[in-house]
Homo-oligomer: A and B are copies of this chain.
Amino acid sequence: MARSTLDAIYYGAIEAFSEKGYNDTSMDYVAEKAGVAKGTLYYNFKGKDELFLYVMKRGAHSLTDVITNVFDQPADPVTKWRNYISTQLAFFEQNRSFFRLIMQNMWGPNLLESVTLHELFHDYFVRMDQELQKAQELGLLSESMDISTLSASIFGMLTIPAIRSIVHDLPIDEEKRVNSITHTVLQSFKGGETI
């Protein structure tokens, strides 16, 4: 069945790429992890690039779903942001391989000429910008803040501690870490005056 072959490749590829990184993952290894023949990879994808891009796109979509689902809920802003943080961190914990994969490749050189990897996360940042815009309109955020810079900063507040946890082989969602991250992110909204 077309779907199950593609699924096998998807999950095998995530495992393979996150373990060894893009370059050190051979197509043979992906095929082995996916339980298909190497030729099957090339029957379904033009090449290694396209396979990797497929994995990243499918993953980026699921990541964007997280933020969309949270912010689409009716709730007061602070609750929304709390939910965002905990949901996002839980997603990272539950998809450690894929999250590591993203962090390894997000800022690298373009894989394909036409598609820079971080463009895949464009929607993610757009959604966050929308929420920050609202917060600014509600007076929760100083007018002087540059929103696209802030969304990047918030992304950093979450992801850098998370990736460090993974590198040190610790759970992301230890209580003290989640609390600290939550506190840090929410602080960035308090008041507008620079100290």
- Using Cβ atoms and an 8 Å threshold, which residues of chain B touch A104? 107-109
Contact with B along A138-172 (1 / 0, CB 8 A): 00001011101110110111111101100100000
Candidates B19, B24, B161, B191; contact of A153 at CB < 8 Å: B161
Q: Is the contact region of chain A dominated by helix, strand, or loop, or is it mixed?
A: helix
Given contacts A156-B158, A160-B160, contact A194 B182 (CB under 8 A): yes
Candidates B109, B118, B184, B188; contact of A24 at CB < 8 Å: B109
Q: Which of A1-49 contact B (CB under 8 A)?
A: 19-24
Give A169 to B23 CA distance when docked, in angstroms: 25
Residues B190 and A194 in contact, CB atoms below 8 Å apart: no
Give A181 to B150 CA distance when docked, in angstroms: 7
Residues B195 and A189 in contact, CB atoms below 8 Å apart: yes
| Number of chain copies forming the complex | 4
Candidates B108, B150, B157, B190; contact of A156 at CB < 8 Å: B157
A133 within 8 A of B: no
A186 within 8 A of B: yes
Residues B176 and A152 in contact, CB atoms below 8 Å apart: no
Q: How far is the CB of A96 from chain B (nearest CB, A)?
A: 12
A58 within 8 A of B: no
A95 within 8 A of B: no
Give A158 to B155 CA distance when docked, in angstroms: 11
- A residues contacting B by CB (< 8 A) are 19-24, 78, 100, 103-104, 107-109, 116, 118, 142, 144-146, 148-150, 152-153, 155-161, 163-164, 167, 176-177, 179-184, 186-191, 194-195
